[in-house]
Amino acid sequence: MSKHALLFPGQGAQQVGMGRDLAESMPACRSLFDRAGEVLGYDLAAICFDGPIENLTVSAHAQPGIFVASMACWTALKEKQPDFEPAFTAGLSSGEWTALHMAGVIGFEDTLKVLEARGRFMQEACRANPGAMLSVIGADEAQLDRLCAASGAEKANLNSAEQTVISGPVASIDKAEALAKDIGIRRAIRLNVAGAFHSTLMKPAAEALAGVLESVSLSAPAIPVVSNVTGRPHDADPAGIRERMVAQVYSSVQWYESVRWMIGEGAESFTECGPGKVLSGLVKRIDKTSPVRNIGALSDLE
C-alpha cells in the first residue's frame, strides 16, 4: 500500500485571497471560515480574502488564517479524492497545529484559540525583544556553528541540507550578515519577519502559551504527526504533546530531519495543503525523487 505524507505551511505563507475560491465554490470550505469568525469574534474571511496584507500579516490573524485556509484545502482535496489517506502528517511552525488538528489531536475551535493566542504572544515578545532572522544558504555545519558562535545568533529552521535560518537579537543578525561572506558562506538573505522566531527571545511567548494549553483538551494522534522539535513523531501522551508544542515556540524547527524520517518510513509522495509552495520546494531540495504536489487553490484540484 502506498504511503503519502501531508504537509501544512506556517506563518509567512499568508497571501491575500487565500481560500476565497474554495469558499466560493464549496459550502464545506465556506463553513470553516464562518465558524472561525464566530469563534474569534472577527471576520477572518474578510481579512484572508481582502486583506490588506498588513492586517493579514499580523501574527494573531496570520496564524489562524493560514490554519483555516489550509483546512479548506484539505477539505476540498478530500471531497475530490475521498480515498486519499495520508500515512503521516507534519507542519512547519504554526502549521504543526494544523497537522495536529487533522490527526484528531485537537478540535477546530481549540486550534483557532491556541493559534490566535500564540500569534498574539509572539507579537508581544517581538515588541519586548526586537529581533530578526537570516536565511543562510550553502553553509556546512561547521560554518553555521562558527557563524552563530561569533554573532550570538541561534539556529531557528533547519530546512534542508543547503538552507538554515538563524534567529536572534537585531544586533546579532546584523553581525551574522556581515560575517557570513568572510566565513565562506555562499549566500545570506535577511528575512522580512517581525522578530526572532524560534529563538530564546520567544520564551516569554512560550510561557504564556503554556497557560492557555492547560485548559485545552488533547488526544492521541490518529496518524503519526512529526514534531518540529524532535524530527520524530509525537507519542500518544497528550502531556508530552503539550510540552513539545510549548517548546516549539522557541526551539529549532527540525524540518530536514522530519522529511527524512517520513521518507525513511516509506513516504512515497508529499502533498502540501495550504497557501504558498514553500514546503513543496523544501521537499524537492531534500529529496529530488519524491513526487510533490501543492493544493492551495481550486485550480490545483482540477
3-state class of 91 per DSSP? strand
Give CA angle at 134 (130, 140), nearest 5°.
Answer: 140
Question: Which candidate in 4, 61, 70, 93 is catalytic?
Answer: 93
Question: Which candidate in 59, 198, 252, 280 is catalytic?
Answer: 198
Output Rg (C-alpha) for the chain, integer angstroms. 18
Per the structure block, which three cell numbers stand in for 36?
472561525
Per the structure block, which three cell numbers stand in for 185?
558562506
Please list the alpha-helical segments (H only) found in 168-265: 170-183, 203-213, 238-247, 255-264
Residue 103 has, within 13 A of its CA and on its CB side, a CA count of 33
Is 93 an active-site residue? yes
Are the C-beta atoms of 212 and 245 separated by less than 8 Å? no
Is 4 an active-site residue? no
Q: Which residues pair with 226 in a beta bridge?
A: 233
Query: What are the respective helix, strand and coil percentages of the chain, to the nearest 5?
Result: 50, 15, 35
Residue with cell 524532535: 230
Are the C-beta atoms of 8 and 70 separated by less than 8 Å? yes
- Determine if the peptide bond prior to 52 is cis (ω within 30°): yes
Strands (DSSP E) found in 148-275: 154-158, 163-169, 187-190, 267-273
Tell me which DSSP letter residue 167 carries: E
> What is the C-alpha separation between 49 and 46, in angstroms, rounded?
5
**Cα dihedral 62, 260, 296, 26 in deg (nearest 10):** -100
Which residues does the annotation mark as catalytic?
Answer: 93, 198
